[in-house]
Amino acid sequence: MQYFALTIIGRDRPGIVAQVTEILYRLGFNIADSSCSILGGQFSMILIISNPNITSKDQFEEDFSHLEETNLSVFIRTMKPGGEISPDLEGEQCMISVYGADKPGIVYQVAKVLGEYQINITDLNTKLIGTTEKPVYVMMIEAILPPNIEIDAVENWMTALKKQLQVDISVRSLIAVEL
């Protein structure tokens, strides 16, 4: 089966998810994976989709063209075989939280340390919260630790970064729940 990555981005407003998923439903697509978020004032969604009867984006690209008229940008990418399969990542899942004054380099510095130790970032979100007078930068990272790395080690690596960036960084384990 052929999988496609569908990306939609545009000024946030109610009803975007309904518009997009109606088209997918009407065409018989299955949503294998998705992520939706508001970034600034822009709504963004990325979906991994498939339909056993569709093998080329040319067969359905036109069905999304009217969304361009509502100021949404639509991008469809044909995925290489196997691109839809989540990697089987071994290791402990953890949450890394960062809070502090907004300044350039926070994401880079934290990601650099994690990358140096082969820690795989599986989800990353940032937001500015607080007030205009006292904004607070918040970053939440979900990550998979390699089997040979413990939470305590990650906390130790973050100690120097806390001081350098003048932010609070905490690391905690996420326990997977089987249904």
To the nearest 10 degrees (0 to 180), the angle between helices 106-116 and 151-165 is 150
Instruction: Report which residue type is found at 27.
Output: L
* Mean pLDDT of all residues in 163-169: 94
* Domain formed by 93-173, architecture: 2-Layer Sandwich (3.30)
Q: Where are the alpha helices (H) located in 52-93, listed in sequence order?
A: 65-68
Average of per-residue pLDDT across 35-42:
90
Please state which CATH class domain 3-78 belongs to.
alpha beta
Locate 76 and state its tokens.
């469809």
Question: SS3 for 174?
Answer: coil
Percent of the chain with pLDDT over 70: 93
With a CB cutoff of 8 Å and minimum separation 6, the contacts of 169 are 96, 97, 98, 110, 158, 161, 162
Q: What is the DSSP letter of 110?
A: H
Q: How far apart are CA 122 and CA 12, in angstroms?
A: 25
Percent pLDDT > 90 in the chain is: 74
Whole-number Å distance between alpha carbons of 159 and 170:
9
User: CATH 3.30.70.260 residue ranges in the chain?
Assistant: 3-78, 93-173
pLDDT of 73-103, one tens digit each?
A: 999 999 987 666 666 667 889 999 999 998 8
pTM of this prediction exceeds 0.85: no
Look up residue 136 and give its two tokens: 């607070």
User: In a 10 Å sphere around its CB, with 0-12 CB exposed, 13-18 middle and 19+ buried, how is residue 130 labelled?
Assistant: middle
Q: What is the pLDDT of residue 40?
A: 84
Instruction: State residue 26's pLDDT score.
Output: 95
Q: What is the pLDDT of residues 89-143, one digit of tens each?
A: 678 899 999 999 988 999 999 999 999 999 999 999 998 888 888 889 999 999 9
